[in-house]
Structure 1
Amino acid sequence: MKLDYEHEVTVPEMLEARDHRVEMQRDLIAEFHHPVICFMLNIPGPHKVGEDFEKAFRYGVESIDEILHKHRMKKDVEKEEAFVTGYIYYASVDADAIDIKKAMCEIEERDRIGRIFDIDVLRTDGSKVSREEFGMGPRKCLMCELEAHICARNRTHTVSSMVEEIHRIIKESFAG
């Protein structure tokens, strides 16, 4: 099924997508009894899918595969979904949740495109592993060096400027 790249996602659609993700995560934890990775792109605004975003998502999935292999972490299963609300990757991983999160932070921190990756790791009780649990500070804003949650709360940057920067980062990441 081809996604409508022009579709403007509504708040109810985003809430429904979040509920679906939580259900998928719970199902994977219940079936495999291991931590779960949930990867998406952090894209502000009403447009969550498109060629650039799909390319970045593919790169993110490949990066997760590579880093899990590097750290000898075995996947029980992986699943991908694509909706107008965005691209989602899930993996149940037979490893310690904090070790998985540390590995995922390597991806988020190694290059600029990692700044748009949102890689959550959930323990078997469903709680998320926080970067702060192992001494990593909060993520930095895409536009400046402040903590991302501060800029988000204060709406420091416009949605259009952030989306423009995201497209620039993706293009630069795949140039050459």
Structure 2
Amino acid sequence: MTNKASNVKVSLEQILASREQRANRQQAWLFQSEQTVVSVTLVWPGERKDTELARQVMAVANETLGALFRAHHWTVSRHQALQPVTGPEALWSVAAPAWMIKHVTAHLEDTHALGRLWDIDVLCPKAGLVKRDAIQQPMRRCFICDEPAHACSRARRHSPAELARVIEEMTSDYFACQAV
């Protein structure tokens, strides 16, 4: 990552446009390779999505996923990391069954120290998005109160300041331990 984070405020329109572009990229990758596509974004509340900290968290996600795929002897035919103003993203094309990848990535989201900040989507070339319930995995939990994450998000149960504080604690603890 040679360029610096933009650290600019982004609008809802930019976020929605970025989601559409990501969905188009995912579909193109599925069509081109006919392999499972893993799409990674961050759970990153607030108006500034492309920050140095967000990029550090995504770098750990990429390192961790790369190691996970190697440990399972799954061939990665393509990997791309992007740094749009709407926050870092990554795409992987992996030669392994989508349901199997979803199992290990859901576990990673639930157990890695930064995993709750990662949104790892797994797309099957034939069936599309593989959801947690399709592999009998529980819904993601809120990283503040442990209630279902989608319910907290929809109800805006936690203030942006509270979310930022918890993310700061989570990341500073993680990176402090890595420096030792």
**Which of the five TM-score ranges fits, normalised by the shorter chain?**
over 0.9
TM-score after normalising by structure 2: 0.93
- Runs of 5+ consecutive residues of structure 1 not aligned to the other structure: none
Please name the residue that 2:18 is paired with. Answer: 17
For residues 38-60 of structure 1, the C-alpha deviation after alignment (integer angstroms, 9 at most, x for no partner) is 00111011111212111111000
Please name the residue that 1:63 is paired with. Answer: 64
Distance 1:111 1:76 in 2: 25
| 1:126 Cα deviation from its structure 2 partner | 6.3
1:39 aligns with 2:40: yes
Please name the residue that 1:73 is paired with. Answer: 74
Distance 1:9 1:101 in 2: 30
Q: Percent identity?
A: 26
Pairs within 5 Å for 1:1-176: 1-5=3-7, 7-125=8-126, 127-175=128-176, 176=180
Distance 1:12 1:132 in 2: 30
Moved more, 118-127 or 72-81: 118-127
- Runs of 5+ consecutive residues of structure 2 not aligned to the other structure: none
Q: Per the alignment, in what secondary structure is the counterpart of residue 114 of structure 2?
A: helix
Q: Per the alignment, in what secondary structure is the counterpart of residue 174 of structure 1?
A: helix
Letter in 2 for 1:134: I
The answer to whether the 8 A contact 1:34-1:95 is kept is yes
Letter in 1 for 2:93: S
| 1:151 Cα deviation from its structure 2 partner | 0.8
Distance 1:140 1:122 in 2: 21
Cα distance 1:2–1:52, how it changes in 2: closer, same or farther (>3 A)? closer
Letter in 2 for 1:45: G
Letter in 1 for 2:34: H
| 1:127 Cα deviation from its structure 2 partner | 2.0
Distance 2:49 2:145 in 1: 22
TM-score after normalising by structure 1: 0.95
Distance 1:2 1:61 in 2: 18
* RMSD between superposed Cα atoms in Å: 1.2
> Structure 1: which 4+ aligned runs deviate by more than 6 Å?
none
The answer to whether the 8 A contact 2:5-2:50 is kept is yes
